[in-house]
Structure 1
Amino acid sequence: MGLYAFGESANSLKLFCTTSFHRLSPFLFPFCGFIIPLITPFVNKEIEYFSYSLNYTNISKFSFTLALICAIIFMIGDVKMIPTVKIDIKNFVKIEYAHEHSANDYTYTVETEDKGSRGNFGIGVMEIGVVKQNPLIFKDKKGEYIAEEKDIFIIPPKYRYEVSTLNKGAHRHFTTEAVIEFDRTEKNTNTALTLPLIIKAGKKSEKIEEDIKRIVSKSSSLHESNYFEDCSDYMRLLSHIKKATEINTEESDPSPSSVLYCISAEKYALDNISRHMSVEEIANHIGISKNYLTNIFSEYKGMPITEYINRMKLNHMIELMRRFGYSATEAGEYIGIDNVNYISRMFKKYYGMTIREYKQIYFG
C-alpha cells in the first residue's frame, strides 16, 4: 500500500501517502463516512491534548478523527512505520568519508560507529546517503524498509542494520559519514532533529541530494580538507533535512531578518574566536540591541548565545589538540582563554568529563 508515518508519539499522527493511494480510497472514504459520526463524540476531550502535542493552535474534530482512522488502518494494514531517532546536534567534528559507491548485489551487515557516550551525551558516526540505482532494503529488529531510487537514507550513530539491494545487478549510491557530538533528547529545539531512516524522494529531498553530492565532490578532489568548509557544508545538509522532516513550522520558525542577524552573529564570533568577546560587542557590530540578539539567538539555535560561543571555542580547542597536538594551555590561548582552570571548568560543564578523560576516550 505505501502509507508511511515518521516521528514518535504524537508525531506518528503526521501521516502521509507515498504510493498507490487509489488502492486505499475505495475502502477509506465509505469507511470514513460511516465511522466518523460514530466516534467523533468520544474524541472531543482528546483534541486539546493532541493539538498541544502536535504544536497546532487548533485542530478540527474531523481531521483528528481522520488521523485516528489512519492510525487504525496503519496498525491493521500492510503499512510500515519508518524508524526515527531524535538527537540534538551539539557539534560537528569531521567528515569521516564521503564517496560514490557502486557494486553488484550489494549486501552488508553494519553498525554505525559509536565513539563513546556518557549519559545522553555521545560522539558517533552518522551516515547520510541517496540511492541512485537499484533500491536498497534496510532491515532492523522491527522490520524491513525500502529506499527507492532518489530516496534519502539516514543512519544515526550506534544503529545496527542489514542492507541489501532490492534487485540483482548493479547498484549505486552517494553517501557521507560524519563524526558528530550529540545529545539524545525529547525536547524541541532548533538544533534537535527527528531523523527518519528514509526520506521519500520529492522537491525537499532534491536539496539534500545536492548537499550530499557537494560533500562527496569535495572529498573526492585533491584539495586539502578545510574544517570550517566541511562544517558549513554539513550544517547546510542537516538544515535541509530538518526542513524536509518538519510539518507546519511557519509559526515557530524565526523570521528571515532574525535568521540573518543570527548568521551575522555566528560569523562575527567565528572571525574573532582567538579573543574574548561579549554579547554586547557582537550586538553592536550587527546593529541590534543585546537583549534582542539574546532572544532571537536562543530561538534560532536552541541555546543561549554565550553557550554557543563557549561550545564553538571548545570544539575548536579540541580540533587543535586532536589534529595538531596542542596542549590544553596552548589551545586555550589560541581561542582567547588563558586561564587553564576556567577552561577546565567550562569543559567539564559542557562535556561532563575532564579534558584528560576526553582525550583518553576519543583521541585513542
Structure 2
Amino acid sequence: MIYTLVQLHNFPVILFAHYFGPSDYSISRVAESEHYEITFISNGAINKRQGNKCITIPEYSVQVSLPGEKYEQSSSEKHSHSTCGIVVKSKKRVISKNEVIDIIRKKSQSTPLHTLDKGVFPEFILPDCVPPGKNADKIRNMLSDIIHSYQTSDSFYRQNIITIKILDLFAFLTSICIEDAEDSQANSLIPIHHQYVRKFKQYVQEHIDEDISCEKIAESLAITPGYLSAVVKKTTGETMIHYINRVKLEKIVELRLLYNISLKQAGEMVGINDSHYLSRLFKKYYGLSWREYKESRILQ
C-alpha cells in the first residue's frame, strides 16, 4: 500500500458518480491537477500500466486515482465498477509507514485540522488501493450511497450532502492507512496487546455517540480495566480517557464546521450532554474556547 498525505485547500466538489458496465473496458488517462477518483471493481480485474510498472487490481478491491497520474488500464473480461470523481484543490505528497505513525502520534497531542482562508479543513492519508475484504466492501457501500445521492437528491442540497459523504469516505480511507501502518509495528508488540488496542479504538469509533466508559470497553474485551489501560498507554502513549475525549472533540470540531451547529448540539451527537463540562473539556484540550479556537485557526 502506498500512502499519500493530502492537505485540502477547499471543500471537495463531486464531478461524477455512476456505475459502469458490465462491458469491455480500456482507458488511457491523465488525471487533471485537481481530480481524484475512487473506484470499486465489481467484476473483471484491471490490468494497469503506469510508466514501467504493471499491476493487476483484482475484483472486489478499491482503486484510488490521484491528481496528475498518467496511466493505461484495461480488463480482459467483461468489467463493471462503481466510481466517483472529485474536484478539490490540495497539496499532496507520498509518505512512508513510519511517517504515517509519526503523523498520528503528533496529531494525538494537537488539533487534526488545518487552517485555510475560509475555514478549517481536514488533512487525510489516502492509499493507492484497498484489497478485497471488509474495508473494500464498506467503501463499495459508501460509493453506492454517494451515487444514489448524486442521482436522486435535489440539486439545491445535493452538493452539501455529497461533500459530507466524500469527507467521510476520505476519513475511512485514512483509517485504513493508519491500520495498515500500525500492522507494520505489530512484530514489536505482543500480538494480543496489538489486538486489544485495535479493538479499543474500534469500540470508540463505533460507540462515538454514547457515553463511553473504560469499564464498558474492558468488559467487551473480557479483560480488566486496569490491564487494558496499561496496554493502551504503553502502545499509544495516551491514557484511555485522553484518547476517548480527543476522538470525541475531533468529531465535535468536524460536526460544527460541516453543519454549523452549536457546541451543545455537537456534544450531544457524541454523547456529551453537559454543555458546561464540554466547554471546559474543549478549553482543557485545545487551550482556547471554541470561539477563540476558530478565530485563531482562521487568522493563521
Q: Equivalent of 1:310, from 224, 245, 248?
A: 245
CA contact (8 A) 2:126 2:170 kept: no
Larger radius of gyration: 1
- Greater RCO between the two (CA within 8 Å, min separation 6)? 2
2:144 is aligned with 1:217? yes
Does the 8 Å CA contact 1:99/1:174 hold for their aligned counterparts? yes
Query: Quick one: structure 1 residues 145 and 153, their matched pair in 2 at CA, closer, same or farther if it must change by over 3 Å?
Result: farther
**Partners of 1:144 and 1:265 in 2: CA distance:** 43
**Which amino acid is the alignment partner of residue 3 of structure 2?**
V
Deviates more, 1:125-134 or 1:207-216: 125-134
Give the AA of the match of 2:229: T
How much does 1:343 deviate? Answer: 1.7
Q: Given the alignment, which residue of 206, 210, 215 partners 1:272?
A: 210
What is the match of residue 22 of structure 1?
A: none
Residue segments in structure 1 that go unaligned for 5+ positions in a row: 1-5, 7-83, 114-124
> Superposition pairs for residues 1-364 of structure 1, below 5 Å?
84-85=2-3, 99-101=18-20, 105-111=27-33, 127=38, 129-130=40-41, 132=44, 135-138=47-50, 143-150=51-58, 152-155=62-65, 160-165=68-73, 173-175=81-83, 186=99, 188=101, 197=128, 205-221=132-148, 235=172, 238-239=175-176, 242=179, 249=186, 252=189, 254-255=191-192, 258=196, 262=200, 265-266=203-204, 270-273=208-211, 279=214, 283=218, 288-298=223-233, 303-328=238-263, 331-332=266-267, 335-336=272-273, 337-338=275-276, 340=279, 342-347=281-286, 354-358=293-297
Contact 1:175 1:216 in 2 (8 A): yes
Which secondary structure does the structure 1 equivalent of 2:99 belong to?
Answer: coil
Judge conservation of contact 1:254–1:296 (CA < 8 Å) in 2.
no
Q: Is the 8 A contact 1:174 1:213 kept in 2?
A: yes
Identity %: 16
1:128 and 1:323 map into 2 onto residues whose CA distance is 25
TM, length-normalised to structure 1: 0.44
Q: Deviation per CA, 1:274-304, whole angstroms, max 9, x where unpaired?
A: xxx6646765787644432223335676754
Gaps of 5+ in 2: 106-123, 154-160
TM-score by length of 2: 0.51
For the 8 Å contact 2:39–2:64, the answer to whether it is kept is yes
- Cα pair 1:208 1:237 within 8 Å, conserved: no
> Which residue of structure 2 lines up, in the alignment, with residue 122 of structure 1?
none
Please give the alpha-carbon distance, in whole angstroms, between the structure 2 residues aligned to 1:211 and 1:286.
Answer: 24
Letter of the 1:186 partner, please give it.
E
